[in-house]
């Protein structure tokens, strides 16, 4: 009989037992962080598809929280489109020993690990299959000595497929922020991401809308390039806050391209940083 286990034959080892008894606990797939790391809070930055601005939001938040005096880190889990090191101006050889490697640091001390830092050339494509990508991300968590980190931001793989799912399951996220843009199929994409987080019991901290609008350089008028945002209605329906709206801003693109995002001067994500600080800072 498969659904109950006889008391006398129970080995108390649920992981190898096929019985479906009521006391059986679901096996956690969460991986421990490296024993020499001391990461306090982990926030996943999620989007329904690539190119929405996840890396931008991850790096901007790491910069803003660093400015507030916290030790921050960015784990770039968007393996196929890694742009975090470039925006933070981080390059060079990763060092380590046979058991672990060390992240690189930006000018203001933000720790960074990305597959781009491990490639021979940053133009090399990553042509790996899903399980290899997911395994690499897990190793960025388990085999990197991160040191003391108050807030780690994870630039998550886009979408709700196999790779993001594995990352969700293996890294203990304290919360996620969902990044959307007005031209997204917002309602569907946001709900998918929210449902995935609910399934994994991870709190949704709120939404950030990127490429929300643009300011006309001549007359200063606010232009809704991609049409009216539908995010307010969705946020209200789902009961979450909109933590920030980032306009299309050529200065931002230029700061990322030049690797000097740490010099950013705008308040687009100040409320997101406030929300993180309020929720997590002791």
- Give dist(CA 274, CA 279) in Å, integer: 9
- Residue 38 Cβ vs ligand ADP, minimum distance, rounded to whole Å: 27
Phi/psi of residue 252, nearest 5 degrees: -65, -45
Nearer to ligand ADP, 34 or 62 (CB): 62
Nearer to ligand ADP, 47 or 114 (CB): 47
Are 54 and 181 in contact by the 8 Å Cβ rule? The answer is: no
- Residue 210 Cβ vs ligand ADP, minimum distance, rounded to whole Å: 5
Nearer to ligand ADP, 54 or 101 (CB): 54
Nearer to ligand ADP, 39 or 87 (CB): 87
Nearer to ligand ADP, 233 or 253 (CB): 253
- Name the residues that contact ligand ADP, by CB under 6 A: 47, 50-56, 78, 81, 83, 210-211, 246, 248-249, 252-253, 256
In terms of phi and psi (left: phi > 0; alpha: psi -120 to 50; beta: otherwise), the region of 170 is: alpha
- Residue 8 Cβ vs ligand ADP, minimum distance, rounded to whole Å: 55
In the block, tokens 């946001």 appear at: 190
Are 204 and 240 in contact by the 8 Å Cβ rule? The answer is: yes
DSSP assignment of 146-191 equals --EEEEEEEEPPSSSSHHHHHHHHHS--SEEEEEE-TTS-HHHHHH
- Residue 252 Cβ vs ligand ADP, minimum distance, rounded to whole Å: 4
- Residue 202 Cβ vs ligand ADP, minimum distance, rounded to whole Å: 19
């Amino acid at each position: 009989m498969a659904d109950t286990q006889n008391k006398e034959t129970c080995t108390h080892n649920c992981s190898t037992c096929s019985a479906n008894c009521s006391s059986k606990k679901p096996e956690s797939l969460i991986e421990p962080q490296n024993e020499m790391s001391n990461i306090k809070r982990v926030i996943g930055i999620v989007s329904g598809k690539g190119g929405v601005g996840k890396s931008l939001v991850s790096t901007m938040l790491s910069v803003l929280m660093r400015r507030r005096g916290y030790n921050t880190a960015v784990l770039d889990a968007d393996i196929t489109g890694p742009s975090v090191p470039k925006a933070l101006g981080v390059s060079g050889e990763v060092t380590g020993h046979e058991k672990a490697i060390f992240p690189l640091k930006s000018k203001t001390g933000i720790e960074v690990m990305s597959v781009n830092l491990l490639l021979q050339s940053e133009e090399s494509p990553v042509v790996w299959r899903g399980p290899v990508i997911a395994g690499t991300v897990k190793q960025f968590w388990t085999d990197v000595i991160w040191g003391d980190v108050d807030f780690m931001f994870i630039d998550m793989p886009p979408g709700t497929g196999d790779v993001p799912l594995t990352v969700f399951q293996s890294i203990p996220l304290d919360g996620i922020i969902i990044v959307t843009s007005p031209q997204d199929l917002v309602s569907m994409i946001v709900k998918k991401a929210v449902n995935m987080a609910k399934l994994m019991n991870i709190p949704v901290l709120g939404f950030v809308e990127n490429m929300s609008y643009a300011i006309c350089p001549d007359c200063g008028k606010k232009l809704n390039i991609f049409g009216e945002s539908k995010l307010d209605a969705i946020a209200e329906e789902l009961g979450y806050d909109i933590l920030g709206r980032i306009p299309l801003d050529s200065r931002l693109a230029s700061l990322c391209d030049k690797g000097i995002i740490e010099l950013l001067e705008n308040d687009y994500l100040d409320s997101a940083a406030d929300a993180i600080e309020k929720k997590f800072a002791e």
